[in-house]
Copies of this chain bind each other. A is one copy, B any other.
Amino acid sequence: MANRENTKADPGNFFEDFHVGQEIIHPTPRTLTRGDVALYTALYGSRFAVQSSDAFAQRIGFKAAPVDDLLVFHVVFGKTVPDISLNAVANLGYADCRFGEPVFPGDTLSARSRVIGLKENSNARTGVVYVRTTGVNQDGRMVVEYVRWVMINKRRPSSPAPEPVIPDLPEAVAAADLMTPAGLDPGSYDRQLAGSAHVWDDYQPGEKIDHVGGMTVEEAEHMMAAHLYQNTARVHFDQHAARDSRFGRRIVYGGHVISIARALSFNGLANAFKVAAINGGRHVAPVFAGDTVYAWTEVLAVAEPAGPSDQISDQISGMGALRLRTVAAKDQPCGDFPGRDGDGKFDPSVVLELDYWVLLPRRT
């Protein structure tokens, strides 16, 4: 409540501070290292062979084990929080997220966003801001880009409403727009070492997979994760402030739940080593420390990706794409595939629904 105009601390942007077309350079470039990779393993126990082993990754054409796509996403996302969502009431959604150039230890990531939509809410106290964020490496190559929209407080209810602009967002990234790492030779992919005989050809639309395992979340873990991503959202870290909030507790960063679900999905999708795109994500309910997260996946579609020619290797025939819907539930094993009922209402255990594309080897 104090007047902070005399101080140098950043109060974050309010709805009035955004305009369509605005470009925001986000602070704190970040070199990702093998240290970050080790922490990511310690936080989720991820077991995809390509990200786990330099030797395995090199055998199929990478220069080293690439950094997990979701770690890249979280780091880029974290950069946007101080500028975009410090005064957010709610993260409403993601769309049109594509992963580009692979990231290796030693690469430095930075991020910028462009405001592509604005709409004040009818209560005149909040509005929705749409941004397209692009993460790039030290050479300026895109590593991930995505749209997200958040509900943000206005500084003053009396501020005039801007002209509403709502961007046209695709329901899903087209398979033809998925980017496959250049130079891969999936023919050398060792399924036995990777942990599963099942490749792209073995999955069918409509197939459901229970990932069986469960992972209980601890306060220290989700805070270390969010700190690793330099995410500054107060709700994850400040129990004193949370005490008087709606939930009375710190809220686990939604991306932490996505990474847990992805790590659990290894059991059933061990060869789906690369996330190529996220079509949409919905944090159906908050997760708190002490909750145990389970997950299951439905195969929505199968496709052959074909990205821009300079991104595509000529061995592309050796890779296939699956469009997946992964659902995470808390304190509810997923053998019965908890999801939506006939009216589209979620089972009370559901915390996350994620629609995304993965790449995996196909039989040649």
A332 to chain B: closest residue by CB? B240
Q: In the complex, what residues of B have CB within 8 A of residue A203's CB?
A: 8
Is the C-beta of A106 less than 8 angstroms from some C-beta in chain B?
yes
* Chain B proximity of A108: nearest CB distance (Å): 4
A171 to B334: give the CA distance in the assembly, Å. Answer: 45
Q: In the complex, what residues of B have CB within 8 A of residue A169's CB?
A: none
A203 to chain B: closest residue by CB? B8
Is the C-beta of A348 less than 8 angstroms from some C-beta in chain B?
no
Q: Mark A261-284, 1 if CB is under 8 A from B, else 0.
A: 000000111100000000000000
- Pair A38/B39 contact, Cβ less than 8 Å: yes
Query: In the complex, how many residues of chain A place their beta carbon closer than 8 angstroms to a beta carbon of chain B?
Result: 90
- Pair B43/A210 contact, Cβ less than 8 Å: no
- Pair B270/A27 contact, Cβ less than 8 Å: yes
A239 to B288: give the CA distance in the assembly, Å. Answer: 13
- Pair A42/B196 contact, Cβ less than 8 Å: no
Which of these, B41, B52, B208, B227, contacts A44 with CB under 8 Å? B227
Which of these, B39, B49, B238, B292, contacts A292 with CB under 8 Å? B238
- Pair A33/B30 contact, Cβ less than 8 Å: no
Q: In the complex, what residues of B have CB within 8 A of residue A34's CB?
A: 33-35, 105
- Pair A45/B216 contact, Cβ less than 8 Å: no
A218 to chain B: closest residue by CB? B220
A42 to B227: give the CA distance in the assembly, Å. Answer: 5
* Chain B proximity of A40: nearest CB distance (Å): 9
A269 to B8: give the CA distance in the assembly, Å. Answer: 7
Which of these, B49, B208, B331, contacts A240 with CB under 8 Å? B331
Is the C-beta of A65 less than 8 angstroms from some C-beta in chain B?
yes
- Pair B196/A10 contact, Cβ less than 8 Å: yes
A224 to B44: give the CA distance in the assembly, Å. Answer: 8
- Pair B108/A210 contact, Cβ less than 8 Å: no
A62 to B272: give the CA distance in the assembly, Å. Answer: 39
Q: In the complex, what residues of B have CB within 8 A of residue A35's CB?
A: 33-39
Is the C-beta of A313 less than 8 angstroms from some C-beta in chain B?
no
Q: In the complex, what residues of B have CB within 8 A of residue A216's CB?
A: 219, 223, 237-240, 250
Which of these, B36, B53, B333, contacts A30 with CB under 8 Å? B53
Given contacts A238-B216, A241-B214, contact A29 B53 (CB under 8 A): yes
Q: Mark A1-33, 1 if CB is under 8 A from B, else 0.
A: 110100111110000000000000101111101
A28 to B292: give the CA distance in the assembly, Å. Answer: 25
Q: Mark A197-212, 1 if CB is under 8 A from B, else 0.
A: 0100011000011111
Which of these, B110, B239, B290, B294, contacts A193 with CB under 8 Å? B110
Q: In the complex, what residues of B have CB within 8 A of residue A239's CB?
A: 216, 290, 292
- Which candidate, A149-157, A174-182, A228-236, is the interface stretch facing chain B? A228-236
A332 to B202: give the CA distance in the assembly, Å. Answer: 55
A56 to B36: give the CA distance in the assembly, Å. Answer: 18
A269 to B212: give the CA distance in the assembly, Å. Answer: 43
* Chain B proximity of A106: nearest CB distance (Å): 7
- Pair A224/B36 contact, Cβ less than 8 Å: no
Which of these, B44, B194, B211, contacts A9 with CB under 8 Å? B211
A25 to B110: give the CA distance in the assembly, Å. Answer: 40
Minimum-distance CB pairs A-B, first 8: A35-B38, A27-B195, A45-B227, A240-B292, A220-B220, A29-B53, A33-B34, A214-B238
